[in-house]
Amino acid sequence: MKRFAGRVGGLAVTALGALTCTTAPVSEPVRLETFEQATQMLERTAAERRRLKDIEFALTHGSQGFCGELVVARVGGIFGTGSSFVGPIGQRAAMRALDLGDALSVVHVARGGPLERAGVRAGDRILSVDGAPVRALEDLGAAVSAQVTAARSEGRALPQRFAPLRLQLLRDSQETSARVEPVRACPIQLSTATSPALLPVATGTFVATVPLGLLRFMDSDDQLASILGHQIAHQLFDRDGDDLVTRESRADRIGQIMAARAGFDPMAAIAAWEELAAEVPEIIYGGRVPFPRSQTRFGLFRVRHHALAERLEAIRSTARELSEKLARGEDLLP
Amino acid sequence: MQAEADRLADLGYARWIGAASRVAEIGDRLRVAAAPWCGDDLTPAAGLGWTRRTWARNIHEPAAFRRFPDDRVYVVFVAPGMAGERAGFEVGDVLLDSPTYELVFVEDAQGSGPRRVRIERDGTELELELDAPLGCPWLLFMQESEQVNAYASSNRRGQAFAVVNRPIVREARTGDLAFIIGHEFGHLLLDGGAVDRARLRADREAQADYLGAYLVARAGYELDASTDMLFTSLMERDDIEGLSLEPLRNRSHPVTPARTLALRETLEEIGRKLRAQADLTPDGLRAPAR
């Protein structure tokens, strides 16, 4: 029983899932323990999503120049309401762990994003946008996208800068307001999955799913950003008919540029791919098994395409090139 | 370019061996901790890891064929402070008489006491005297998988074994990993008939938790993080249905609030015994067979 809420800045905490409760009589200690577990789990999962949201915002905003007419407006945040969670225990746990209320709440403010610049904080309740009441995530999403939607429907080019939105907020029982100026971003969203796998996968045209295994495996945001940039580049640029080598090397290079433009260390890409190769040797061979057990052992392997070794040469040289450009203060867009 | 591909593949194989070695060491320590309840059928726990190139997973075969010149059994891991290290084993030694997963000795010694192991080192045959503590005769394997899982079973010959999937090894801290392996060994104790089930909680998983926690404590691993690991890895972490008040039938390791409550009680019980320096014997286990 899962519900996925809207699209403002990507993830909503409702994607965390829903608690189910039975009506069978349960002892008080078990009820408390359930509540405790739910709270801990929500806290842990939310921490992982916050980290991913920061990287997602940096990558998609930093790489807007790649997206042309695809760009969307983003404010950089995670939002949710207590009622997104089913069952009394789930709702109470969500309210405690994520500081959610009945109103739409700010769960996370992306680092360096419009919400952060406007002084919005996690825990704020969003009462209205430009005077229109906000009851659900969709209301906020529509307000953030309004300028893009209007320009598209009228066939106009997007404005260079979006007009600010006035958010009426409730903070510590006091009403306050904030002027939030949405920014351009590539439309990709990064969602999480419980899988312990290490490779992100496309789960929609503009949605990439990042397994928790990868988030836990990569301590360094710089390294993680280069892998995620690669995935985003795949989803933006892969075309039917491209061969594997073209796809991978293009995704490597554009992903590296995206990560560097987003402020991540370009040199981290090298270690990131070596680390992944050590844990998932399949990528060394471009996803192919080197040879079947039953066949002649070495002859077949030697002629195979050793994808990652070739790619790493290019990844290293791109990393050096980007580092030098950054040092000279040059623009990184190709 | 071939050299670079080889380097990456070698690194991946070394990682695999490192992870499996970590499992092997914990397994040996836990087997010894469980020994009092396994009767006389015990095997030495030397803290050694060994492999041969044809055991390598398909994807690792090129690296395994580079690392090992022939298809004999090579020592790849010597746990610090354990019997294998004291006996003088080194990484790279060839185990001449042990073509399988079990260590084979020069003569079939009975009970504890030193045994001789025939090895080859730098082309010379040697005999090392291994004085290893005895443990339950269980095998333990690490399996590549994209699932967070571990299980215990026995093969057609009645050989009991446990398997832990690699993502757990990758993500778990040592105490947590020991608890997960201990839990599986708990199942093996239950299956082996050493346990008076009537004196334990009804739920099989809770029973295995109870015994596993004791094995972990007896082996000297830290226990306090174990419950956290249960939440994060044994269950599908996003799947909050796992927190429902009813155990789900289709899950091999349903983590129910009742189960974690029970585990917490077990940890408190063990903590009390540790503070009182009392014997760490779980309730419900029959008196040592020997």
Residues 6+ apart with CB under 8 A from A104: A79, A80, A81, A125, A126, A134, A135, A136, A137, A139, A140
Tally A–B CB contacts below 8 A.
144
Judge if ipTM > 0.90: no
Give the angle B259-B264-B266 at the CA atoms, nearest 5°.
95
Q: Which of B2, B232, B241 sits opposite A44 (nearest CB)?
A: B232
**How confident is the model at residue B109, as a pLDDT?**
59
| Residue whose structure tokens are 């987003």 | A262
pLDDT of residue A299: 40
Best CA proximity match to A115, nearest among A54, A206, A161, A66: A54
pLDDT digits (tens, 9 = 90+) for A167-226: 999 999 999 999 999 999 999 999 888 777 899 999 988 999 998 889 989 989 999 999
Whole-model pTM? 0.84
Q: Which of B10, B55, B230, B238 to mutate to test the interface with A (most CBs of A within 10 A)?
A: B238
CA atoms within 13 A on the CB side of B47: 19
pLDDT at B111: 60
Q: Residue A33: which of B15, B59, B257 has the nearest Cβ?
A: B257
Contact (Cβ atoms closer than 8 angstroms) between residue B155 and residue B161: yes
Cβ atoms of A127 and A103 within 8 Å: the answer is yes
Q: Name chain A contacts of B261, Cβ cutoff 8 Å.
A: 29-30, 33
pLDDT digits (tens, 9 = 90+) for B68-97: 999 999 999 999 999 999 999 999 999 998
B70 reaches A (C-beta below 8 A): no
**CB within 8 Å: A284 and B231:** no
Q: Mind telling me how many Å the CA of A285 is from chain B's nearest CA?
A: 8
Minimal CA–CA distance to B182: which of B27, B69, B13? B27
For residue B286, the tally of other CB atoms under 10 A from its CB is: 12
Find chain A residues with C-beta within 8 A of B254's C-beta: none
Six-digit token string for B148:
């967070």
Residuewise pLDDT in 10s, chain A (334 residues):
233 333 333 233 333 333 344 445 567 887 787 777 777 777 877 888 899 999 999 999 998 888 888 999 999 999 988 776 666 677 777 788 788 878 899 999 999 999 999 999 999 999 999 999 998 899 999 999 999 999 999 999 888 899 999 999 999 999 999 999 999 999 999 988 877 789 999 998 899 999 888 998 998 999 999 999 999 999 999 988 888 778 888 999 999 999 999 999 999 999 999 999 899 888 877 655 555 444 444 444 433 445 788 888 899 999 999 999 999 988 887 7
Of the candidates B5, B170, B232, the beta carbon closest to that of A309 is on B5
With H, G, I as helix, E, B as strand and everything else as coil, classify residue A116: helix
Nearest to B239 among A17, A290, A292 (CB): A17
Question: What does B225-280 look like in DSSP terms, one character per residue?
Answer: THHHHIIIIIS-TT-GGGGSSS--TT-SS---HHHHHHHHHHHHHHHHHHHTT---
CA torsion sign, A124 to A128 to A133 to A138?
A: negative
